[in-house]
Amino acid sequence: MSLEDLAFTPLHEQARLIARGDLSPVELAELYLDRISTFDPALNAFLTVTADRALALAQAAETAMAAGGRRGPLHGIPLALKDLFDVSGLATTGGSVVLQDNVADCDATVTRRLLEAGAVLLGKTQMVEFAFGGAGINHHHGTPWNPWDGSVHRLPGGSSSGSAVAVAAGLASVALGSDTGGSVRIPSSFCGLVGLKPTFGRVSCAGVLPLDPTLDSIGPLARCVTDAALVYNVIAGADPSDRDTLAAPAFLPADDVEGEINGMRLCIPREYFWADVEPEVEAAVRATAGVFAELGAHVDEVSLDELNRLGDLRSYKNLTAVETCASYGSLLEGRGADFDPIVRERMVDGFDVSAVEYLTARRFRDDLQRDTVTALADIDALLVPTTPFTAPAVDECDDGGPEYWRVNGMCLRNTAAANLLGLCSISLPCGFTREGLPVGLMLIGRPYEETRLLQLARAFEAATDWHQRRPELSD
């Protein structure tokens, strides 16, 4: 196997090689650090690279293996974290210069769980400031370069922009992101990855910079469904430091998926998700219905009146802006000039929302979540496009003008539905356009049905090869 092939080998296969003694954790860490040194100056995926720490962790993993020990399923696996997860001794900046001195004195719960499972931390990745944006733009640190187009600077998707670019470009085995309105799934769609948004409360947010604590969800960006499931198994579960968390059953992907989704029902909703979808995107997503049908699932189109009410909810004063102001309002008032101007403009809307308006919108959302769960009682998953288009060029929409607001809103429109409705969701590649850009399929499942969602995604992936493609890089 060439070093290039090894860099793009799925995490679970790398872990198997390490467990057999056929792959050195130190050599794997060195491979990714070398690739970061070679390719990241152009890609700009990482905000901080922790080379010394990574090599020390890799050496400890190698020493443990020599002594017959293995810490867990991620033993010796190099990964990256979005820069809103606390790592002891490192700054957690949230992609903002305002927090450049915000050094963590302990690990976030998910950081600790990853390290306890044997992971090797390569560094922290770029992101939209305070995770407040779906396009992936950051005017302070530069917008990461989507690796699927070497000649045109295209949006990586946000807000977990650097995490997606790092995995897609073979700079890390896997990465972790956050998802409040699509911030794991949008960049996964634009960069040809698998992105899982668990149900709110499945994964602890303790030690994670918040955007909207009523919606924030933590999930992996990975090369395949099995990798996403393995990381999810590690990070999910109850945490006394986060009162919203609850226990999560493990998903153990089977080697043989034949018959695994027989009789499951997938539905293509007629409402909401298909407006202004690019023809190539629509064709690729609708074609997946045939794949699922051949695998034994029932696929049909349905009308769900509840989805028509999503537009009413999104027309309310911005709930997330209110929650963000509650977290960062004092910084905004004291250092507003140091904020990314696009983020500042979105955030200040929260100051204009009254308590009555906020509570009315929250109650509307709670009612809509309850009604939607009832409507989905006999539906295992909805099948829709993750985003209505593939990655646009950065220079078309990074100036904060009308085109930015249109693109950012369209990036978030489909994905935010799962967050607002309290559902779990996964994005996975389902095709490429004539320009060679990835298309994302999104499956949306009932609350706490991550196992069923992963089964569907795993079966589709086993029947296709979209996830095996990788971009051509030049240094």
Catalogue the active-site residues.
82, 159, 183
Whole-angstrom distance, CA of residue 407 vs CA of residue 398: 10
Cβ-contact 129, 105 below 8 angstroms: no
- Sheet containing strand 46-49, edge to edge, reads 46-49, 120-125, 78-82, 174-179, 217-222, 194-197, 424-432, 438-445, 381-385, 265-269, 298-302
Map residue 394 onto helix, strand or coil: helix
Whole-angstrom distance, CA of residue 398 vs CA of residue 223: 28
- CB-based contacts of 108: which residues, under 8 Å, 6+ apart? 85, 86, 87, 204, 206, 207, 208
Q: Are strands 120-125 and 194-197 parallel, antiparallel or unpaired?
A: unpaired
Cβ-contact 161, 188 below 8 angstroms: no
User: Residue 413: what are its φ and ψ, rounded to 5°?
Assistant: -55, -55
Helix, strand, coil share (%) of the chain residues, nearest 5: 45, 15, 40
- Owner of token pair 């370069």: 145
